[in-house]
Chain A
Amino acid sequence: MRLSIQSTPARYSCANLARRLSHARPGRPGALIGALIGGRNGFLSASPLHKHPISTLIPPRLPKTTSRTSLSFQQCHAYTTHPSTTNPNPFRAAIIGSGPAGFYTAYRLLSKLLTAHVDMYEQLPVPYGLARFGVAPDHPEVKNCENKFEEVAEDSRFTYIGNVAVGRDVELKEMKAHYDSIIFAYGASQDRKLGIPGEDLGGVYSAREFVGWYNGLPQLASLAPALDAGEDAIVIGQGNVALDVARILLTPVDALRKTDITEAALETLAKSRVKRVKVVGRRGPLQAAFTVKEVRELMHIPGVSFTPISSSFYPENPKSLPRIQRRIGEVLLKGTPDAPPDTSPKNWSLSFLLSPKSFNPSPDNDKHISSITFAPQRFADDADRYSNAARVVPNTEEQDMTLPASVAFRSIGYKSAALLGLSDIGVLFDSKLGVIPNDAYGRVMSPSLGPGNLSAGHVPGLYCAGWVKRGPTGVIASTMKDAFTTADVVVQDWAEEVPFLGHEEGAKGERRGWDALREKVESRGVRPVGWKEWHVIDKVEKERGAAKGKPREKFGTVEEMLEVLDR
């Protein structure tokens, strides 16, 4: 029986997978869950592990060939307390992606497994992923995580392979022979679409594109957003990325000149005519994903007022709300008492219970947006409107609402894409959820490998971390936590000597990783960039920045980056 894995509505978690597997094998509901949280045996309460709180346990890998239900209690204990001896073999891992997920996984792996060597692949010459290209330029302190990544990269057991795109410059199936493990940490390089009319009009951008553009992401250097088309900007979506977009649009451009925002972005922002930014959400303020720091920052931009929100979204006594919602509520309800809307040159507002229906072209220019039509929503009858999970439904009693927009940003989430060649190595990418199916710890799962035995589903040697694992949510701290979990299960699986890559072919001995691949890859005209070379680029970027009073002036194209190395 083959499970259809493409249409699962919920996020992959081991619970989901367990449910799916137990559907396939009726009569064994929840066995995998028990096994995952309770250790190998599923007898959590009787296990010696029980003296540790569940929260400290990483679920052990299950032996490949033993049937879970046939294990007696004694056998379970025997296995639990007499694991395999130390795995003495050197461990070679490829980590794909050099953002926080990749680096935190590498950090943990190198710390916990002394025989580990990590090759980190990055398609751009420059490292750090969204720490460089996603974190807002006016949040430099968030980029301090790069100091840790720098330390990781200095480890002699770490090799950085920049400017090599896995899937294009080197195939996954050729990498497979030279690694014990491949860990996918390549994040989310695409964005979700609304799928409504007019989405391709001029002046409609995704927040990801806009953020990548002002942060100097080479692929987006030519975006040139039409900020001079009019005074009204609408951001669709109410997460922190949406607020980053609003803040960059409203911050006086001179305040940004001291940041590492690109010179091209400064030029465009200086010509911006945008005066009003509306951040629109489908639900209410208690359901919004933004966090209090980002809201607070928007309340403190000089000359920018906030349109007061209706207190009807809040309970009579807002103090009864959970801490996070309560504190955001306090900031929102206070608003900007020092910047009254009628006298302030610029304004931002939050609009709730509006679902976008169409982007409408301008009567003067049918290629450019001039307004957005929204369908009003209301809380579902059975929803607790003060809960952050409250559901909304279309409000058929109200008319559609059309709001002016000379420029619009879709900020409804990033999305991972399948890496070229994933299916060649047995991974079924879930394009609907935009994640690599995994067991919630980071083991890549494939339904074609299970059920039937205790390790049902895990594709040997393959792991994932970060947004490609759990979806595009959370701050760097969440990705760190998540990456540590992935590294911990890799280390644990290695200790248990469960199958890793090449196990089926009976391959033994040391894998040579990049050393074995390099010549072949270079023969294709690829020019890999090493860590020392990144330092050269880094140094020149900092010098370029210093000349302008900025911490860094990023190179806008890959060609410019490479030219520094080969001049």
Chain B
Amino acid sequence: MPFRLSRTSSITTETPFGPSILQRSRRRFSSTPISRHGHLEPPKPGEELTVTFIDKEGEKHEFKVKEGDNLLDIAQANDLEMEGACGGSCSCSTCHVIVVSDHYDQMEPADEEENDMLDLAFGLTETSRLGCQVKMSKDLDGLVVQLPAMTRNLSPNDFK
């Protein structure tokens, strides 16, 4: 069993009428991944870097990781809903993340290949990156990224 990183969140969104549909269905059908990915080693004490993922329900998941881990591996090792259809080879856009902390400018800029794939990402933003291409470093300690919604949803354009 791969090392499980600490998870510091819980699902708390309740509506005035009880938990929302999504959370209810979540409880009823708790997700059991088919297998684990990204066999990450734990960080050495004192060398932990912090990264936070905001999932599509708006929940924050904070992890202590080590330098060099990429965001796709971190997300998959922690069962976050992020696919890496091409296996992290920068050939699809399924590990698209949106950088929401002010670390975007401190990252190595996306290269041509990554930008070519980002062109195909759903909901591309000015601070979009591919998770498989972002490696944790000391400069990125405290990084916060958001996962875009992974299911197709109707947009107002669908009604035109």
Contacts and interface: CB of A to CB of B under 8 A. Distances in A.
A81 B87 contact: no
B151 A292 contact: no
Contacts of B9: none
Interface residues of B, number: 50
Nearest to A57: B153
A324 B117 CA distance: 10
A154 B33 CA distance: 12
Given A52-B22, A291-B116, A484 B89 contact: no
B56 A492 contact: no
A148 B121 CA distance: 20
Contact of B34 (A39, A60, A111, A481): A111
Contacts of A77: 17
B30 interface: yes
B34 A107 contact: yes
Nearest to B124: A323
B131 to A, nearest CB: 13
B15 interface: yes
Interface string B9-32: 000010111101110110011111
Interface in A442-477: 475-477
Nearest to A112: B29
Given A80-B17, A293-B117, A477-B120, A148 B25 contact: no
A81 B158 CA distance: 28
Interface string B116-142: 110111101000000000000000000
B35 A481 contact: no
Tell me whether chain A's interface is mostly helix, strand or loop, or mixed. Answer: helix
Interface stretch (A138-146, A182-190, A390-398): A138-146
A141 B89 contact: yes
B87 to A, nearest CB: 4
Contacts of A142: 86, 91-92
A2 to B, nearest CB: 25
Nearest to A324: B119
B152 A481 contact: yes
B31 to A, nearest CB: 5
A298 interface: no
Given A56-B56, A139-B91, A327-B119, A48 B152 contact: no
Interface of A: 13-15, 33, 36-37, 39, 48-49, 51-52, 54-60, 77, 80-81, 83, 86, 107, 110-114, 139, 141-142, 144-145, 147-148, 151-152, 154-155, 291-293, 296, 323-324, 327, 440-441, 475-477, 480-482, 484-485, 488, 491-492, 495
Interchain residue pairs A-B with the least CB separation, the first 7: A144-B87, A48-B15, A81-B17, A141-B89, A141-B91, A293-B116, A485-B152
